[in-house]
């Protein structure tokens, strides 16, 4: 039976899955560090009733006399750490097979929290409370809208028991939910490669480099996911090997960016 199953599997499927798992592992580790940074800085400041400490790295993180806006910012930021962890757990095939009840409930919580985070993020952009500069606003807003669409469709397809379509929308949602993290590791990698600030003004947070990174935080991941889904069951194996090679290159780039962001932004603040 095992030999027959291996023989019937499309050529290159194992290589493709290994490459995807490698990227997921790096992303999971990187997002755990990012989540720990959020909790250690913003979470700790909130618990100790020192919300004004948010302004050390985020000038508009806390504004006196704006309780509603401050609450929206806190909800968005603090729940973002939960989204990173829950989303990564949804991607583990072993959990889906051995503990389907966990996958279902974790998925419900994950989608619900992601929707809240997305709506709060869009509200922050609309009221001028976003962390990003104007160069990133368009890209971040598109990311947020697409995240909400994918979250709703992933939920609907699961309820309709169309699990093939559910998986596709869930994968898209996963990479979109990681957009904020991807932007930051992309920025850290960009600065490291250029040996310093390049292509943007750090005082105003405006410039072509930031615009490109903000657009790329959703466009590139979605293109890669679509390529993965298309070659996964394609007749020719060449596409699977090509996408596997791309994923391995992206794994190395993601690891480099996460490493630079950890050293330069997150670890010193914890």
Q: How far apart are CA 158 and CA 29, in angstroms?
A: 27
Average pLDDT for residues 2-22, to the nearest whole number?
Answer: 74
The yes-or-no verdict on residue 52 having pLDDT over 70 is no
Over the stretch 150-172, which tens digit does the pLDDT of each residue have?
A: 999 999 999 999 999 999 999 99
Q: How far apart are CA 37 and CA 58, in angstroms?
A: 14
Average pLDDT for residues 193-220, to the nearest whole number?
Answer: 90
- Buried b / exposed e along 20-55 (16+ C-beta atoms within 10 A): bebbbebbbebbebbbbbbbebbbebbeeeebebbe
Handedness of CA 223, 225, 226, 230 (dihedral sign): positive
The yes-or-no verdict on residue 4 having pLDDT over 60 is no
Which residue, chain included where needed, has tokens 């072993």?
Answer: 94
Q: What is the mean pLDDT of the chain?
A: 87
pLDDT at position 51 is 67
Compare 36 and 57 and report the one with higher pLDDT: 36
pLDDT at position 5 is 41
- Buried b / exposed e along 89-110 (16+ C-beta atoms within 10 A): ebbbeeebeeeeeebeebbeeb
* Domain ranges, ordered by start, for the chain: 20-269
Determine contact, residues 74/46, Cβ cutoff 8 Å: yes
pLDDT at position 134 is 64
């Amino acid at each position: 039976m095992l030999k027959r199953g291996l023989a019937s599997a499309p050529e290159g499927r194992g290589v493709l899955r290994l490459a995807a798992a490698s990227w997921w592992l790096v992303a999971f580790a990187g997002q755990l560090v990012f989540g720990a940074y959020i909790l250690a800085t913003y979470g700790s400041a909130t618990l100790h009733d020192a919300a004004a400490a948010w302004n050390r790295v985020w000038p508009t993180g806390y504004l006196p006399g704006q309780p509603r806006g401050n609450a929206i910012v806190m909800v968005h930021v603090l729940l973002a750490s939960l989204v990173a962890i829950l989303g990564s757990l949804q991607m583990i095939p072993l959990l889906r097979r051995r503990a389907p009840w966990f996958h279902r409930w974790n998925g419900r919580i994950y989608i619900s929290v992601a929707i809240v985070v997305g709506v709060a993020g869009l509200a922050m952009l609309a009221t001028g409370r976003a962390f990003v500069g104007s160069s990133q606003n368009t890209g971040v807003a598109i990311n947020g809208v697409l995240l909400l669409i994918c979250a709703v469709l992933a939920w609907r397809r699961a309820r309709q028991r169309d699990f093939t379509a559910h998986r596709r929308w869930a994968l898209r949602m996963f990479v979109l939910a990681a957009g904020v993290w991807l932007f930051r590791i992309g920025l850290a990698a960009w600065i490291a490669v250029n040996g310093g600030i390049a292509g943007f003004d750090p005082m105003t947070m405006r410039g072509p480099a930031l615009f490109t990174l903000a657009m790329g935080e959703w466009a590139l991941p979605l293109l890669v996911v679509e390529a993965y889904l298309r070659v996964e069951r394609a007749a020719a194996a060449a596409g699977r090997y090509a996408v596997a090679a791309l994923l391995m290159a992206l794994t190395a780039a993601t690891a480099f960016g996460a490493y630079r962001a950890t050293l330069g932004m997150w670890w010193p603040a914890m």
